[in-house]
Amino acid sequence: MRILICEDSVLLREGLVRLLEHGGHTVVAALPEASGLLEAVEANDPELCILDVRLPPTFTDEGILAALELRRLRPGLPVLVLSQYVEERYASELIAAQGGAFGYLLKDRVADVGEFIESVRRIAGGATVLDPEVVAQLLTRRSRDDRMRALTERERTVLAALAEGRSNQAIAALLFLSEASVEKHITAIFQKLQLEPDGGGNRRVLAAIAHFESIGSSSTVASDADRPSQYPQTGALA
């Protein structure tokens, strides 16, 4: 896979290059800042872009703006955003933006090489992969929504796993349920969130987005008490 990296930290940038190339991928460009990103994409035609949330010169929203622009101009290009912390407003903006496959992971996930490489593969393959910490916080913030209150505790647990990008089979294994039971829960979730069949299989992503639409701008990471407790808190994105 041809991958473009945009990360200001020299150590992380070089670490990502080595990690990805060791995994059999080709890093076509490794940029320290967002300026020149679009030109680099045009010149190198990557199959996946990995961007830091905060980039020079202001270290505020350069990476987010670049990711949003990429998703607008190149909707078929998968984008993986890396963040040091859960930045709720940025996460919700990116999730809601029109575009292709997308991932939002905390940088700590890079330390689990196998998991990170699998996430990269899945995003490049068209999946939406969200860090469990991001999902936990956004679902907690969104829990006041009427549609969210209509869900049972089990449905909310299934939705949290679904929003992380897990397949029905993976959700069943995680929650010790049959796949048939998972399918019934997901059908109920779609109905309660008023998501009609669209013929394109996008309701799984829309189900997560529906929970994020009215999120505020708080960026405080959810505490352990706030996280869904029905399944283990793990970085696995099966």
The per-residue pLDDT for range 71-115, each reduced to its tens digit, is: 888 988 999 999 887 777 777 777 777 677 889 899 988 989 999
The size of the chain, in residues, is 238
What does the pLDDT read at residue 38?
Answer: 93
- 129 pLDDT above the threshold of 80: yes
Torsion, CA 141, CA 171, CA 85, CA 51, rounded to 10: -120
- 147 pLDDT above the threshold of 80: no
What does the pLDDT read at residue 123?
Answer: 93
Give the pair of three-digit tokens for residue 118. Answer: 């699998």
CA gap 189, 34 in Å, rounded: 39
DSSP character at residue 2: E
Rg of the chain on CA atoms, in Å: 17
- 232 pLDDT above the threshold of 50: no
Residue 33 is which amino acid? E
Q: Backbone dihedral region of 197: left (phi > 0), alpha (psi from -120 to 50 degrees) or beta?
A: beta
Q: State how far Cα 171 lies from the chain centre.
A: 17
CA gap 181, 202 in Å, rounded: 20
CA gap 160, 134 in Å, rounded: 10
Torsion, CA 10, CA 12, CA 18, CA 24, rounded to 10: -130
What does the pLDDT read at residue 150?
Answer: 84
Give the pair of three-digit tokens for residue 123. Answer: 């995003």
- 3 pLDDT above the threshold of 90: yes
* pTM (2 d.p.): 0.62
φ, ψ for residue 66, nearest 5 deg: -65, -40
Greatest mean pLDDT among 144-148, 180-184, 226-230 lies in 180-184
Give the pair of three-digit tokens for residue 18. Answer: 């080595």
* CB atoms near residue 230 (< 10 Å): 14
Cβ atoms 33, 55 nearer than 8 A = yes
List pLDDT tens digits, range 217-227.
333 333 333 33
What does the pLDDT read at residue 141?
Answer: 59
